[in-house]
Each structure stands twice: as C-alpha cells, then as structure tokens.
C-alpha cells in the first residue's frame, strides 16, 4: 500500500479563505472556534491564528459522546473538554481534521449542545472524504475533497510538523 503525503499549507489557505467568505456572507463578526481533539485541535490552533480571532480557542474531546464507545472501549487517555466561553447565542466554527462518516461531528454537536444553545454552528474540516458518509452532515468549508476507498486511511500527524498522509 503506497502512502501519499499531501502538503498542508495550501489546504489551510483554502480553508481559511472559504471560512472568511462564509463568515462574511452570513454576517458573523465574532465567531467562537472549537477544535475537536486531537487533529481538529491542531488545525484549529492554526486557523485561529490565521483568522486572527480574539475569543480564546475552545477544545472538545468527544470520547464520552461517541456512539461506538461500547465496541472500541473507553480510551483511558481522554483530555478534558475546555470551552472558555459561554456557548449560548454564539456563532460557533467547529473544526475537525478529517470528515468521514460524520459520527464524530454528531458527537461534537451533542456535546456542544450540552453546554448551551449556540446561534449557529459551521463546520470546517481539512479533508472531506466524500465516500463513506453515514449521517447527513456536510462541511461548510474544507481544504480538500478526496474520493477514497474504505480500506484507505487518511491521517493527520502533528502537532509539529503537521503531516497529512493517505495510505
């Protein structure tokens, strides 16, 4: 199985531009950003800086909200979720590294709603694996769309340096 590496920076730029367009067309001027551990958090850290957001970055660990925890078991090394802002009535940008089946995003939404009622949630992912979606979830912004087979893996490693591999 050949592994292919994809350059991150161009993807981040695309993502950033698309996000800025989205924010403008929706008239959102003070979004709060939340990154999903682990890969989404790394991406969110970069984007947070690139977009120059003033509000502190929030991090979410969705391990306890997964719908398949009973099959794969509880990951003993869960980092705590940390949202340094009130979620109520805020426009949230939710960041993840790879969107595939959509279950992670569903779990993240559930968790966010446990904290409060946001005004809106936008989804931005670095990679959209367009084959394999199991839930009606689509990104509002993404760095690249990949047509991948089930057996393939798309992995982001990091935090320094960030590397995206397909294998």
Partner 1 sequence: MNKRNIQLDDNNRLRHFLSIEGLKRHILTDILDTAESLSGVTQQTVKKVPLLRGKTVVNLFFEASTRTRTTFELAAKRLSADVLNINLATSATSKGETLLDTLRNLEAMHCDMFVVRHVNSGAAHFIASHAAPHISIINAGDGRHAHPTQAMLDMFTIRRAKGEFYKLKVAIVGDIEHSRVARSQIHALSTLGVEEIRIISPATLVPACCETLGVHVYHDMRQGLEDVDVVIMLRLQNERMETALLPSEHEYYRLYGLTEEKLALAKPDAIIMHPGPINRGVEIDSQVADGPRSVILEQVTHGIAVRMAVMSMAMQSHLADAHSSALESSE
Binding site for partner 1 (CB under 8 A): 63-66, 68-81, 97-104, 110, 114-115, 129, 134, 154
Q: Minimum CB separation from partner 1 for residue 21, in Å?
A: 25
Side-chain-side CA neighbours of 45 within 13 Å: the count stands at 10
Find the shortest distance in angstroms from Cβ 23 to partner 1.
25
CB-neighbour burial class of residue 62 (10 A; exposed 0-12, middle 13-18, buried 19+): buried
Nearer to partner 1, 66 or 91 (CB): 66
| Smaller CB separation from partner 1, 111 or 140 | 111
How far is the C-alpha of 126 from the C-alpha of 96, rounded, in Å?
7
Minimal distance in Å, beta carbon 152 to partner 1? 11
Cβ–Cβ < 8 Å for 51, 45: no
Closest contact distance (angstroms) between CB of 35 and partner 1 is 15
Q: Which of residues 25 and 70 has its CB atom nearest to partner 1 in the complex?
A: 70
Burial bucket for residue 124 (CB in 10 Å: 0-12, 13-18, 19+): buried
């Amino acid at each position: 199985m050949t592994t292919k590496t994809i350059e991150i920076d161009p993807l981040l730029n695309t993502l950033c531009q698309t996000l800025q367009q989205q924010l403008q067309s929706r008239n959102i001027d003070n979004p709060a950003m939340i990154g999903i551990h682990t890969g989404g958090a790394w991406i969110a850290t970069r984007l947070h800086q690139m977009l120059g957001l003033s509000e502190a970055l929030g991090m979410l660990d969705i391990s306890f909200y997964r719908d398949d925890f009973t099959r794969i078991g509880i990951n003993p090394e869960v980092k705590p979720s940390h949202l340094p802002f009130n979620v109520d009535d805020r426009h949230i940008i939710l960041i993840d590294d790879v969107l595939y089946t959509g279950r992670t995003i569903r779990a993240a939404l559930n968790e966010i709603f446990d904290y409060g009622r946001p005004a809106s949630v936008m989804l931005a992912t670095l990679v959209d694996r367009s084959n394999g979606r199991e839930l009606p979830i689509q990104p509002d912004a993404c760095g690249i769309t990949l047509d991948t087979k089930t057996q393939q893996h798309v992995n982001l490693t990091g935090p320094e340096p960030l590397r995206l591999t397909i294998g």
